Structure 1
Amino acid sequence: MSDGHGSTPGTPSGWASNQPPPYGNAPGSPWTAPGAPPPPQSPPPPPQQPYGGQAPPQPQAPHDQAPPYHPGPYGGQPHGYRPPPAALRPGIIPLRPLGLGDILDGAIKLIRSNPKTVLGLSVIVAALGAIPVAIGQSALLTGMSAELDGSAASIGPQSTDFLSQYGGTLISYAVQFIAVTLLTGVLTRILGRAVFGGRTTGGEAWRLTRDRVPTLFGLVVVSMLVMLLPLALIFALLWVLASAGADIGSTVLLGAVLVLGFIAYALFVTTRLALAASVAVLERRGVLASLRRSWTLVNGGFWRTLGILLLTQLIAGLATTALSFPFTLAGAFIGVTGETSTASQIGAAVLIAIGGTIGAMITYPFQAGVQGLLYADRRMRAEAFDLVLQTAAIEQQRQGWVHASADDLWDPSITPAGPGRDGRTGQGAPWSPF
């Protein structure tokens, strides 16, 4: 009778006939005490399992099962853990619902992916908007210099009237009303193809966008009316109260409440209509249809959209101030100390215009990119549009190039929207004022 420690001379392994083979269960498993011998007359105990006593999968398990769990000396991932696959990213964004970092990074990548076209268009628009402001500010600085020198009488009171102080700003807003609207449309078209890694020249982008120019102007006009009519009513009401001899304290308090209400109204409306320009260009819809579509897409994501837009405005404002401050400071110094000479006015205007142009040429495409990517994100969340984009990107990778027909993917009349992650298609009719 063997005691379990002897060996049979005829066995190749030298083990007793009633013992298991040496590689049936590895004694060095991480769930057994290292070096612990098996008890006599019995096979080694099975390794201790961390999850319900189930044995780990064997090497011969089917390929679609999870791999065995092999933790390191300091622990590891749960049994069978596999990290999710990385999202397909052929262009400036991953083709999945976007986070805040994806949107901001994608807006920067839009500029870097096609800098000649994006910055070239932006610098033209920025200069058109900055020159009137620079002229108005230089005139104002010259008037301040004259007052400091005591020669304001020779210039006259017209130097500090409303037109000299705010005329340049009003003209700048009028120019931006036209130029920035066109720029947003053109950059949105460039962004629509940059999502797939494609590039668009400035001429091609303009050719694809020029038929949408009337719609873009219509969007701006309607949006301004929606914003300015309540403000006009507030001022009219306060003027009537002041003319009727109402109590000044009550009138001021009412005015403060109405102004706060208007700010909340303005934030609400601008957020709900922020995607209208992208809709008008990429989906080729009319004015009211674009406004209604934007209103619908923002449903379910209002606060997130509002937060991203406010953060974008803050970033753009800080960047513009930082980039233009040295030029504005130098222009102010020349304008104040130049003794009202023509050369000082021209020098101050040029420096202020250069600073405003440099700041705006970076922030304009950044803001347009954020709005375009917010539109793409809302469609991916509300309509599962990322599946459409992924399918098209895979086909483009197979062909080895991005075809111009990728622009048609954004049009729901050509590519119907499917059910989104919230169960909506984006084509429904939640309440909208348009």
Structure 2
Amino acid sequence: MKDTPGWASPGSTPSDGQDAGRQDTPQPTDQSGADQTQPPSNWSKEQPPPAQWSNPSPQGPGQAPPPPQPTPGWGGHSGGPYPGPGGYGPPGAYGAPGGHPGHGAPGWGGGWGGPPPAAKPGVIPLRPLGVGEILDGAVSTMRTHWRTVLGISLTVAVVTQIAVILLQGFVLNDAANADVLNDPTATPGELSRALGETLLSTSAVLVISLLGTIIATALLTTVTSRAVLGKKVTTGEAWRDARPQLLRLGGLTLLLPLIAVVVMTVGILPGILLVAGGAEGAGVVLAVFGGLGGFVLTVWLVIRFSLASPALMLEKQGVRKSMGRSVKLVRGSWWRVLGIQLLAAIIAYVVASIVVIPFAVLGTALDGEGFSGLLTGGTELGWTYLVISGVGSVIGSTITFPISAGVTVLLYIDQRIRREALDLELARAAGVQDYGGNASTATPGS
């Protein structure tokens, strides 16, 4: 074989620089002629030892030579392009200072410490959310945009509570009905009339509170959706955006309790019919089991339709289509949605109770007969009690409205991120550059 420059492998002996103490290996003779003259070699006689060759690189005059390459292995590195025991690549790659391109954060160095954080233009990171992140996002929305959020909640709560106080003080504060209900000698006609009037007054208060909840939910849905993008929104902008959907939202809000009432009625109606027919024992048992079955079905339907409100407001859908969207988003995550909604309801109830109960106790102590009237069964509500307890209700509603609405909206967004990759659209809307190829989809909890 002709020994031309470039054929010798790294570490082999060049053709014309053999060591003096090494025995020559007989070479095969060329069949074309043994006396043929070999071409002169341009290889240097002094070659580096095996496995230490480096790529040639031009150096200017006065330039320092490059540092020696590290010895292959896992440890003992300092300063070369390969990281030490905690990394897996050169700078700019995974495990080295500079991180993964596009994340703008340190890389995965220091062992398996988890992926880089996802983009967070607003109150939540753009990836599937954990339970704590949903709750924190609702609180962060209230804290970051407190002027708009508390302004909406306070206005709605004040108007609603004033209407309730006036209704209770002038129209519904009838102690006669309560006296009839507590009178064991009252006739069935008197009892039914008193019960009907009491239910009517209670329903009137619930309708007013429901209207306030509808308006607050509509406005706070818009605020929370903008907060996810890191954008501010004024109360006027929120009102202009939510106003076209208010009637539909009102219809949806009234339809869901109506469905629950119908389901419960269907569940207990057979037992009531049996009791009316004379089979009291069987009727009571059937009514109890029917009521339990109706309650379970009601909870199942309420959770399936729990995301219909943000779907209606943010997607500009009708009532029926928004309910269908909610069913699609909740499918496969029913227990998770139930747990988060139940946790949010418990938190809101506890917060409201902490605020309202002291005001109610104070109002009872300062009003009319005070605690003695409460203990003796006095039911007439004085203006002092109504006003003081109303102030507590306003403060409680101002705090709980943003929590309830925020958790529902963020849960809706989380389900869409998990099922429809909504984070890509949100990132584009928020102006996040190069999002999608490098975005992390890790979820810290569920």
Q: TM bucket by the smaller chain?
A: 0.5 to 0.7
| 1:277 paired residue among 309, 319, 324 | 309
Equivalent position of 1:202 in the other structure = 235
| 2:335 paired residue among 303, 309, 312 | 303
Q: 2:262 corresponds to which letter in structure 1?
A: L
Shift of the 163–251 alpha-carbon distance from structure 1 to 2, 3 Å rule, reads closer
Shift of the 108–214 alpha-carbon distance from structure 1 to 2, 3 Å rule, reads same
* 1:335 partnered with 2:364: no
What TM-score comes out, normalization by structure 1 length? 0.67
Q: Confirm or deny: 8 A CA contact 1:137 1:165 kept in the other structure.
A: no
Q: Confirm or deny: 8 A CA contact 2:367 2:385 kept in the other structure.
A: yes
CA distance in 2, matches of 1:385, 1:164: 49
Q: Confirm or deny: 8 A CA contact 2:303 2:334 kept in the other structure.
A: yes
Q: Confirm or deny: 8 A CA contact 1:330 1:351 kept in the other structure.
A: yes
Shift of 1:198: 0.9
Greater Cα offset, 274-283 or 161-170: 161-170
Greater Cα offset, 257-266 or 388-397: 388-397
Q: Confirm or deny: 8 A CA contact 2:268 2:288 kept in the other structure.
A: no
| 1:64 paired residue among 93, 102, 106 | 93
Q: 1:391 corresponds to which letter in structure 2?
A: R
* 1:126 partnered with 2:163: no
CA distance in 1, matches of 2:142, 2:85: 52
Number of aligned residue pairs: give it. 340
CA distance in 1, matches of 2:347, 2:424: 31
Shift of the 110–66 alpha-carbon distance from structure 1 to 2, 3 Å rule, reads closer
| 1:394 paired residue among 416, 431, 439 | 431
Q: Confirm or deny: 8 A CA contact 1:142 1:345 kept in the other structure.
A: no
Shift of the 161–130 alpha-carbon distance from structure 1 to 2, 3 Å rule, reads farther
CA distance in 2, matches of 1:375, 1:255: 36
CA distance in 1, matches of 2:197, 2:389: 16
CA distance in 1, matches of 2:392, 2:68: 76
Q: Confirm or deny: 8 A CA contact 1:227 1:266 kept in the other structure.
A: yes
Shift of 1:175: 0.8
| 1:293 paired residue among 325, 333, 340 | 325
Shift of 1:352: 1.1
CA distance in 2, matches of 1:345, 1:96: 52
SS of residue in 1 equivalent to 2:397: helix
Shift of 1:83: 3.9
Equivalent position of 2:402 in the other structure = 365
Q: Confirm or deny: 8 A CA contact 1:141 1:335 kept in the other structure.
A: no
CA distance in 2, matches of 1:261, 1:132: 37
Q: Deviations over 1:386-414 (max 9, x none)?
A: 1221233235999xxxxxxxxxxxxxxxx
Shift of 1:119: 1.6
Equivalent position of 1:110 in the other structure = 141
Instruction: Output the aligned Cα RMSD.
Output: 4.2
What TM-score comes out, normalization by structure 2 length? 0.65
CA distance in 1, matches of 2:434, 2:146: 24
Q: Deviations over 1:334-376 (max 9, x none)?
A: 33625999x9811111011111111111111210111100110
Shift of the 136–247 alpha-carbon distance from structure 1 to 2, 3 Å rule, reads same
Equivalent position of 1:12 in the other structure = none
After superposition, residues 253-268 of structure 1 pair within 5 angstroms as: 253-268=285-300
SS of residue in 2 equivalent to 1:284: coil
Equivalent position of 2:385 in the other structure = 348
Shift of 1:219: 1.2
Q: Confirm or deny: 8 A CA contact 1:131 1:172 kept in the other structure.
A: no
Equivalent position of 1:227 in the other structure = 260
Shift of the 350–80 alpha-carbon distance from structure 1 to 2, 3 Å rule, reads closer
| 1:169 paired residue among 202, 205, 219 | 202
CA distance in 2, matches of 1:169, 1:255: 25
SS of residue in 1 equivalent to 2:431: helix
Q: Confirm or deny: 8 A CA contact 2:269 2:287 kept in the other structure.
A: no
CA distance in 2, matches of 1:299, 1:349: 44
Q: 1:84 corresponds to which letter in structure 2?
A: P
Q: Deviations over 1:278-325 (max 9, x none)?
A: 111111111111111111111121110011011111111111100111
Q: 1:99 corresponds to which letter in structure 2?
A: G
* 1:382 partnered with 2:411: no
Structure 1: 5+ residue stretches without partners: 1-16, 33-48, 69-76, 148-156, 399-420, 422-434
CA distance in 2, matches of 1:397, 1:30: 35
SS of residue in 2 equivalent to 1:93: coil
Q: Deviations over 1:75-105 (max 9, x none)?
A: xx99864641111111111111111111101
Q: Deviations over 1:249-297 (max 9, x none)?
A: x322222212221221121111111111111111111111111111111
Shift of 1:23: 7.3
* 1:251 partnered with 2:301: no
* 1:322 partnered with 2:358: no
Q: Confirm or deny: 8 A CA contact 2:153 2:399 kept in the other structure.
A: yes
Shift of 1:222: 2.7
Q: Confirm or deny: 8 A CA contact 2:230 2:430 kept in the other structure.
A: no
* Structure with greater helix share of residues: 1
CA distance in 2, matches of 1:170, 1:290: 26
Structure 2: 5+ residue stretches without partners: 1-47, 53-66, 78-83, 98-107, 180-189, 436-440, 442-446
Shift of 1:209: 1.1
SS of residue in 1 equivalent to 2:367: helix
Q: 2:350 corresponds to which letter in structure 1?
A: L
Shift of 1:221: 3.2
